[in-house]
Structure 1
């Protein structure tokens, strides 16, 4: 899982682990964004180090709707939601304070998972009374469905891009043909006009 960090200032991304940690400077805002498919479960677990006089607000949003999750003075907790559509989802931490005195940076640890990674198979095993091998097979089945879904989406995007490319090529071809026709017509008109002008001046017969 790869998350894009869009903010001012450095942070540390730990690819492969699913968890990231970074320092939030006082009175600043840092956000993380990722594109996620439709009907995907997303879970997150966060922890914010305490600093006297400082609070940190957490907000999870998409590009169109209200907050999917909002927590003022966030310290430690979890959130979960299922995506309604393919969109860019954003997790933001904002540092706030009622005074202007000097503060130290707050350490934030965030663990976000989605899709198969976010599903709790221990609860599934308890609910459906599955054996360990069956749980692993269920996880592999869900992972396979996720991969197939991703490939289907990539194929659809490739078809859309190919159609757009073909449409653009046709438009360029038609425009080139129209431009050529205009040039030929203009050149023919110029020749006829000049011929008529020279004849009127009796420069040519």
Structure 2
């Protein structure tokens, strides 16, 4: 029971929901970016206030400029896609109008990914699950998501540690090389000055 309660509390703390509202000036472009893990379901709802003679384009791309979702003359709708790799994703709204100055458009965007993006009501209907079974399924998915996040963090920590160790090794080698160069230069200066003073007969 305590374990169930802990997972339930964690489910409220770890919510993958991205909700935002902003004003989009005419003939301008605004983009939002978010990092998302591999094989994660992403869903979103958007609503854009309409303005006369104004069209708004919505485009979602990854870091390689691959289009995941595109909608011309977007006003209200939904989108969904599954990420193929851990990447930075960009959601862009672009307003275009041949008219002069018109009021800014209000954009509402609600994005969900991971556990929050799944429609458990639909899953319950398809698999004929009871309410408690649905909640257990949700908590199971949530715990799996948390485990995957910890595994990713551990992997990143190992990569950063390897990078730090490699950097420290290179710095050590460079320091030794620099020290050898300085010793060689100092030795050459001593011999050069000795020959110079001998040539000037300042020393024997």
Q: Same fold (TM over 0.5)?
A: yes
Q: Which has the higher helix share?
A: 2
Corresponding residue of 1:62: 62
- Correspondence 1:92-131 to 2 at 5 A: 92-97=92-97, 99-131=98-130
Q: Alignment partner of 2:67: what SS?
A: coil
Q: C-alpha offsets along residues 8-34 of structure 1, whole Å, 9 cap, x if unaligned?
A: xxxxxxx99642211111111111110
Instruction: Give unpaired runs (5+ residues) of structure 2.
Output: 1-14
2:66 & 2:201 partners in 1: Cα distance? 81
- Go from structure 1 to structure 2 and tell me whether the alpha carbon gap of 1:61 and 1:17 turns closer, same or farther (over 3 Å shift): closer
1:37 & 1:126 partners in 2: Cα distance? 28
Corresponding residue of 2:134: 135
Instruction: Give unpaired runs (5+ residues) of structure 1.
Output: 1-14
Displacement, 1:65?
4.5
Displacement, 1:198?
3.0
Give the root-mean-square deviation of aligned CA atoms.
1.7
Displacement, 1:143?
0.5
- Correspondence 1:35-46 to 2 at 5 A: 35-46=35-46
1:179 & 1:47 partners in 2: Cα distance? 62
User: How many residues were matched structurally?
Assistant: 190
TM-score (structure 1 length as normaliser): 0.87
Corresponding residue of 1:170: 169
Corresponding residue of 2:75: 75
Higher RCO structure (Cα 8 Å, ≥6 apart): 2
